[in-house]
Amino acid sequence: MRACRIDELAVPTIAAGESHESLRAEEFDAEAARDRGYHYSRLNQLAVEHMLGSR
Cβ-contact 4, 38 below 8 angstroms: yes
pLDDT of residue 51: 92
Helix (H) or strand (E) holding 49: helix 40-52
Cα angle 53, 54, 55; round to 5: 90
Q: Residue 42's closest CA among 55, 24, 25?
A: 55
Whole-number Å distance between alpha carbons of 45 and 51: 10
- Domains of the chain: which residue ranges? 6-52
Task: Tell me the per-residue pLDDT of 7-20, one tens digit each, with 9 for 90 and over.
Answer: 888 888 788 888 88
pLDDT digits (tens, 9 = 90+) for 37-52: 777 788 888 889 999 9
53: confidence class by pLDDT, cuts 50, 70, 90: very high
The residue among 42, 39, 47 whose CA lies nearest residue 4 is 39
Amino acid at the residue 46: L
